[in-house]
Amino acid sequence: MEQVRIEQSDGVLRIELNRPEKKNAITLAMYQALADALGSAQSDARGRVVLVHGQPEAFTAGNDLRDFLANPPRDESHPVFLFLRALRDFDKPIVAAVSGPAVGIGTTMLLHCDLVYAASDARFALPFVNLALCPEAGSSYLLARLAGYPRAAELLLLGEPFSAERALEIGLVNAIVPPAQLLDTAAAMARRLAQKPPDSLRVTKSLMRRALMPGIEQAMAAENLAFRERLGSAEAKEAMSAFLEKRPPQFSKG
């Protein structure tokens, strides 16, 4: 589909989020395309490495809320959950190039990438609590493992945007590069990985993630259930209505 562009060259499968007029906000159709792309790449020997990126103006603004609310996840067959599982289980290296906003899933998906390069203008955010929701993609587990509980709590409970420098400090990204050099830098690293022995790359990634996988799987199962429950809550309905209507939310004091 036009909003998720796929290109393969030199052993690298490039996945481009291409909805710039909406800052690459992800629709259900885009989630399905992303899940399908990773599923195909898993079994296609031509693609040894995946490179995911947006445009210079935006990586992704997160979920397209109107589309998401019109088709909320009711079970594990929902495209959102299909994508998250495909991302979690993908055993080839994933390189990400992040510029502009990386909101919600735009940040949590990076926890499943192997190398992440951020432009100096990248802005990250985990606004789940602000929308009366809860973390997803195993981030309640992975972020605390990566950054330590106090810093993970600050990012997830407050839900405030943070800079590329903060992302580098907590280990979310590997390096910060000038915006004009971002895609070239990430693509060059992806090509370097694609020249390595592919089976060795896969085994090495599997070994590094082996001890983490039970925790990731358990966290994602609990998050998915809680996320569906939160979507039906009065808090979430008020938070999202307020967001779409561009007004402050009015939560009960109960």
- Residue 229 placed within a domain: no
- CATH number, domain of 48, equals 3.90.226.10
**What does the pLDDT read at residue 68?**
85
- Polymer length in residues for the chain: 254
Vertex 164: Cα angle to 38 and 195 (nearest 5)? 40
- Assigned domain for 126 exists: yes
Nearest alpha-carbon partner for 172 in 125, 227, 116, 214: 116
pLDDT by residue (tens digit) across 111-127?
A: 999 999 999 999 999 99
Domain count, the chain: 1
In a domain, 218, yes or no: no
pLDDT in tens, 79-96: 999 999 999 999 999 999
Average pLDDT of the chain, as a whole number: 95
Residue 127 lies inside a defined structural domain of this protein:
yes
Question: For residue 72, what are its two tokens?
Answer: 């909320």
DSSP secondary structure letters along the chain: -TTEEEEEETTEEEEEE--GGGTTPBPHHHHHHHHHHHHHHHH-TT--EEEEE-BTTBSB--B-HHHHHHS---STTSHHHHHHHHHHH--S-EEEEE-SEEETHHHHGGGG-SEEEEETT-EEE--TGGGT----TTHHHHHHHHH-HHHHHHHHHH---EEHHHHHHHTS-SEEE-GGGHHHHHHHHHHHHHTS-HHHHHHHHHHHHHTTHHHHHHHHHHHHHHHHHHHTSHHHHHHHHHHHHTS-------
pLDDT tens by residue, 195-213: 999 999 999 999 999 999 9
Torsion of CA 116, 170, 81, 41, to 10 degrees: 20
How much is the pLDDT for 201?
97
Expressed as residue numbers, the domain containing 25 is 4-180
131 φ, ψ (degrees, to nearest 5): -100, 10
pLDDT in tens, 23-50: 999 999 999 999 999 999 999 989 999 9
- For residue 250, being part of any structural domain is answered with no
pLDDT in tens, 210-219: 999 999 999 9
Average pLDDT in the 158-185 region? 97
Cα–Cα dist 143/124, whole Å? 13
Q: Is residue 244 part of a domain?
A: no
